[in-house]
Amino acid sequence: MTNCTNSRLQITDFLSLIVSNMEGVLLANKPKGPTSFQIVKLLRRVTGEKKIGHSGTLDPNARGLLILALGKATKSIKYLQELGKGYIAKILLGKLTDTDDISGKIISSKDIKPVSFEKLDGVLDRFIGKIKQVPPRFSAVKVQGRRAYKLAREGKGFVLQEKQIEIGSLRILYYRHPFLKIKIECSKGTYIRALARDIGYTLSSYGTLFELTRYRVGKWTLVDSLTFEELKDRKLIESRILTVSQVLGKSSFREESDLCTRKVYEVL
């Protein structure tokens, strides 16, 4: 019995040493489907590290770069959240949903004729710079201590306050009516669902987010990330963990090279 107990203690000690190595920041490519927290739970199971968090939620219907902090690195999440972000969004014009994306219930529709690229460029220009944005009703914003999405699910009436955000650039990738695909460089706190909604309003119609990919956070892109399947490989994870200082290197959401963009498109 004593030998068995000692063996168990030795195994426990060995595992604790392995877990202690799982400290730092990991870049993951979240697929469409799972929630951001489900990615966290997967990592906890694979690595044995229970202290894991992320620096910015991606909705289940969105995919892209998710920055995860493991171990003591979770203390840096508030700084990781400050990093600028880059998105590619596909917007469906003429439809409004209760969630501001295609996963929600359509609550209004309005026919909209094809719009010229010149007019679209003019509309997008209005959103560049520091602007005020009302978050989606189905969001994690707190209203008198409760999450907005919980109040919305309960059918409660409430008003969300505008928040200041900053958009560095908006560029049309393609427009095939009624779909508009744009590339966005923005600050933390920007709701792309709300941007899609407001672009629709500015066109005297409606807009809802159809697809979303976050391709960049700070200076890091999808090229640097692990796929969902790779996140199941503990040894690979350990070899790809970054330090907090590496991730927090100088960058701006206004700065992005054409070469970086081309590399990102290769994995989209």
Q: Are residues 106 and 207 in the same domain?
A: yes
**Per-residue pLDDT, 249:** 78
When mean pLDDT is compared across 17-26, 156-165, 220-229, the lowest value belongs to 17-26
pLDDT at residue 111 above 80? yes
- Give the tens place of pLDDT for each residue, 14-51: 333 444 468 999 999 999 999 999 999 999 999 999 99
pLDDT at residue 261 above 50? no
Please indicate whether residue 59 is annotated as part of the active site. Answer: yes
When mean pLDDT is compared across 54-68, 76-90, 174-188, 244-258, the lowest value belongs to 244-258
Residue, of 236 and 19, whose pLDDT is higher? 236
Asked whether residue 153 is domain-assigned, the answer is yes
Catalytic residue among 59, 100, 101, 198: 59
CATH number where 132 lies: 3.30.2350.10
Q: Are residues 164 and 115 in the same domain?
A: yes
Asked whether residue 257 is domain-assigned, the answer is no
Q: Are residues 101 and 166 in the same domain?
A: yes
CATH number where 54 lies: 3.30.70
**Per-residue pLDDT, 140:** 86
Asked whether residue 268 is domain-assigned, the answer is no
Distance from C-alpha of 162 to C-alpha of 42, rounded to nearest angstrom: 35
Distance from C-alpha of 233 to C-alpha of 228, rounded to nearest angstrom: 10
Q: Are residues 241 and 197 in the same domain?
A: no
Judge whether 182 and 171 are in contact, CB under 8 Å: yes
Q: What range does the domain containing 7 cover?
A: 2-82+220-249
Q: Are residues 111 and 38 in the same domain?
A: no
Give the three-state DSSP class for 124.
helix
The proportion of the chain whose per-residue pLDDT surpasses 90, expressed as a percent, equals 78
Q: Are residues 138 and 189 in the same domain?
A: yes
Q: Specify the pairing of strand 207-217 against strand 63-70.
A: parallel
Q: Are residues 14 and 62 in the same domain?
A: yes
Q: Are residues 93 and 204 in the same domain?
A: yes
The backbone torsions φ and ψ at residue 213, rounded to the nearest 5 degrees and listed phi first, read -130, 125
**For the chain, how many structural domains are there in total?**
2
Q: Are residues 199 and 158 in the same domain?
A: yes
Q: Are residues 212 and 115 in the same domain?
A: yes
DSSP secondary-structure letter at 78? H
**Per-residue pLDDT, 250:** 61
Quickly state the pLDDT bin for 87 (edges 50, 70, 90): very high
